[in-house]
Amino acid sequence: MLIGKPAHSCKDFINQYLDNITFDQDYYRNRLRVHHKIMRLVNQKDYIMNHINFFKRQAKNLLKDFKTKEKYYDEVADCDLHRYNPFFFDIDNIVVTYDLDEDKNFTLMNAQHFISQLVGFKKWNELIKASESELELAKLLFDNQHKLSLDDWEWYISEAEYKNNITFSSVDRLEIFKMVFLKDGNFATMPNDFRLTS
């Protein structure tokens, strides 16, 4: 059905028809642009959710490892100690490094908090609200902790910012990590890997 006033001649009819085609093309072109924008946002959200789900899984794995805790009496130390049978994380290293109280109940919230700190966030809430570049950097830090500790990474960035009198954005930090540590292979000599499998 044609939009507009009734055609009085064949020429009017054709002109109205052509106007409608142009209208339809613009309409569909705009719809296509909106669709592409929405798909970009959906893909970005999926990308972010994949990283968040990865860290959720790591927190659950850490909690599983903590649940393998057994209390036993050590005659040499003359006190009760704890031992673990972990599959994913080096629990003894985590307990010693972070001075964790083994007598307290370790919860999923504690595990999430630890995982977020392990990749450079202060708390879990910061991690789940992080940008795409921040999450990608966090994943790279987690995956490469056998080569580079978080402390070494933070020291490197703070030195670079201080010497250059600049504050790097999260995108800049990600690019620096990829260029300096992944591409060029400059890694720390004494990394602290909390995973059992890397």
- For the whole prediction, is pTM greater than 0.75? no
For residues 83 and 2, give the distance between their C-alpha atoms in angstroms, rounded to a whole number.
80
Given a contact cutoff of 8 angstroms between Cβ atoms, the answer to whether 114 and 98 are in contact is yes
How do residues 31-57 score in pLDDT, each as one tens digit? Answer: 666 655 655 655 555 656 789 999 999
How many angstroms from the chain centroid is the CA of residue 52? 5
Beta bridge partners of 74: 79
pLDDT at residue 184, as a whole number: 73
Q: What average pLDDT does range 146-166 have in this prediction?
A: 91
The domains of the chain are located at 10-183
CA atoms lying within 13 Å on the CB side of residue 173: 24
